[in-house]
């Protein structure tokens, strides 16, 4: 039990199995390690945000966060708030925002780094995960935590791969074999695309049929060799 006599929130969610989605008929929630990581990351008064709504929202509320949750279905919002009130989790600091994240986040977050913890688990079709990541990471404080669910979905995998390569992020762990937790070590500095680790595979000719790919690759190597020879000759 917690100090106020309530069952720890992740245990309670696992026991109750509340259904917040599809009008209360489906559970599309994060798995236990992810919920525990959210709860452990949040301190009372933290400014937090998530795209998507569900058991994760309850975990944020239980931590005492000033939390905003963005999703397009107000029925989900009512179900989460009703559940919080039923089990004694303070819900007054939850702000539910109805809408799609690509429309809401640009005006909601602005350019100030105010977020302590964020969770990306909204729309999973391309390019929503990358759009969510773009705006959220520009509002995250240095030292802030960013968690992402469903990194096995290709639209999310690309964001995950980028973060694992860039030096301003630290991967804290992979959770439930499908989610990831990161810490922002420092805001990314403006840089040329050629300086990004994600682009070190340039040029990528995978779009072309094999014969064309081989020709393009060979032409690129010849050009590189010619540039090297000219540079050596001018040295």
Closest alpha carbon to 65 in 100, 103, 39, 26 = 39
DSSP state of 21: B
Q: What is the pTM of this model?
A: 0.90
* Burial annotation 33-46 (CB, 10 A radius, 16+ → b, else e): bbbbbbbebbeeeb
Collapsing DSSP states into helix, strand and coil, what is residue 99? coil
CA distance 106 to 131: 10
The DSSP annotation for 24-35 comes to GTB--PPPHHHH
Give the whole-angstrom CA distance, residue 28 versus residue 19: 8
Looking at CATH, the fold of the domain delimited by 9-191 is given as: Rossmann fold (3.40.50)
65 CB neighbour count, 10 Å cutoff: 26
pLDDT value of residue 3: 46
Tens-digit pLDDT string for the chain (235 aa): 554 556 899 999 999 999 999 999 999 999 999 999 999 999 999 999 999 999 999 999 999 999 999 999 999 999 999 999 999 999 999 999 999 999 999 999 977 899 999 999 999 999 999 999 999 999 999 999 999 999 999 999 999 999 999 999 999 999 999 999 999 999 877 778 888 888 888 899 999 999 999 999 999 999 989 888 888 887 6
Element (H, E) at 184: strand 179-184
56 HSE (CA, 13 A, CB side)? 31
């Amino acid at each position: 039990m917690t100090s106020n006599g309530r069952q720890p929130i992740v245990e309670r969610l696992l026991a109750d199995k509340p259904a917040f989605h599809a009008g209360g008929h489906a559970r599309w929630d994060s798995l236990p390690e992810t919920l525990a990581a959210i709860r452990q990351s949040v301190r009372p008064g933290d400014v937090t945000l998530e795209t998507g709504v569900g058991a994760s929202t309850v975990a944020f509320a239980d931590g005492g966060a000033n939390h905003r949750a963005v999703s397009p279905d107000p029925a989900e919002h009512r179900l989460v708030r009703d559940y919080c009130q039923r089990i004694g989790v303070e819900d007054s600091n939850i702000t539910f925002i109805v809408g799609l994240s690509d429309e809401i986040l640009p005006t909601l977050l602005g350019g100030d780094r105010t977020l302590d913890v964020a969770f990306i688990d909204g729309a999973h079709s391309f390019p929503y995960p990358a759009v969510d990541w773009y705006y959220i990471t520009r509002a995250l404080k240095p030292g802030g935590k960013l968690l992402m669910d469903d990194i096995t979905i290709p639209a999310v995998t690309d964001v995950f791969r980028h973060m694992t390569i860039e030096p301003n992020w630290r991967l804290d762990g992979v959770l439930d074999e499908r989610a990831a937790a990161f810490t922002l070590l420092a805001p990314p500095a403006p840089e040329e695309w050629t300086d990004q680790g994600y682009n070190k595979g340039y040029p990528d000719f995978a779009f072309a049929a094999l014969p064309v790919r081989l020709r393009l690759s060979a032409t690129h190597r010849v050009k590189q060799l010619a540039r090297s020879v000219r540079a050596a000759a001018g040295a």
